Homo-oligomer: A and B are copies of this chain.
Amino acid sequence: MDEGTPDALRMLLTRTVVRQFTDRPVGDELVELMLEAMVAAPSASNRQAWAFVAVRDPRTLRLVTAFSPGVIDRPPLLVAACFDRSRTARRRPGPWDEGLLCVAMAVQNLLLAAHALGLGACPVASFRAGPVRRLLGLPAHIDPVLLVPVGHPARLPTRAPRRDQKEVISHDFWGRHDRA
């Protein structure tokens, strides 16, 4: 990454997990921009087999947080990203559903939009699905997949170290690290 890197690419490279937030609320306009970016993610067969609940009500935030060990600070906004099983494109049972992957991609857009707007966020998979369902009134066909706390960062985030690219990326064939 150097000075010639486009802003948009820089945003991808500098986003990191933010888990602690100031008390400052997240205004309507920012919420709207983030939600718009979120549903601009890809959608398998354009089924949009997803649903989202954006929570800002303080009582609901307190209760959801209490049942979500992965949410370590009380955020001003929490988005529950869900898979809508009634809209699945899958004809036969398999290890996973494309629609589920699209929920994750939408969450990534949300994280990136937050970062682009000077906010911080993180994806959380550690929560008790039963109580979260009840608190948010989710019907049976809606599965909560990830919770995303969002807010103004309380501290400067640091990036987690990454595995060496040679461990993770091959070229043309598994385990080949230089192009033929």
Option from B15, B35, B100, B139 in Cβ contact (under 8 Å) with A174 = B139
Chain B CB within 8 A of A24 CB: no
Q: How far is the CA of A17 from the CA of B33 in the complex (A)?
A: 21
Cβ contacts A1-33/B at 8 Å (1 or 0 each): 100011111111101010000000000100001
Cβ contacts A50-74/B at 8 Å (1 or 0 each): 1111111100100000000000000
Chain B CB within 8 A of A92 CB: no
Residues on B with C-beta less than 8 A from A165 are: 35-36, 39
Option from B8, B28, B53 in Cβ contact (under 8 Å) with A8 = B8
Q: How far is the CA of A101 from the CA of B163 in the complex (A)?
A: 18
B173–A53 touching, CB < 8 Å? yes
Q: How far is the CB of A55 from chain B (nearest CB, A)?
A: 6
Option from B8, B101, B103, B136 in Cβ contact (under 8 Å) with A116 = B8
Q: How far is the CB of A132 from chain B (nearest CB, A)?
A: 11
With A53-B174, A137-B173 already in contact, the answer to whether A39 and B162 are too (CB < 8 A) is yes
Option from B7, B107, B168 in Cβ contact (under 8 Å) with A48 = B168
Residues on B with C-beta less than 8 A from A116 are: 6, 8-9, 12
Cβ contacts A74-85/B at 8 Å (1 or 0 each): 000000000000
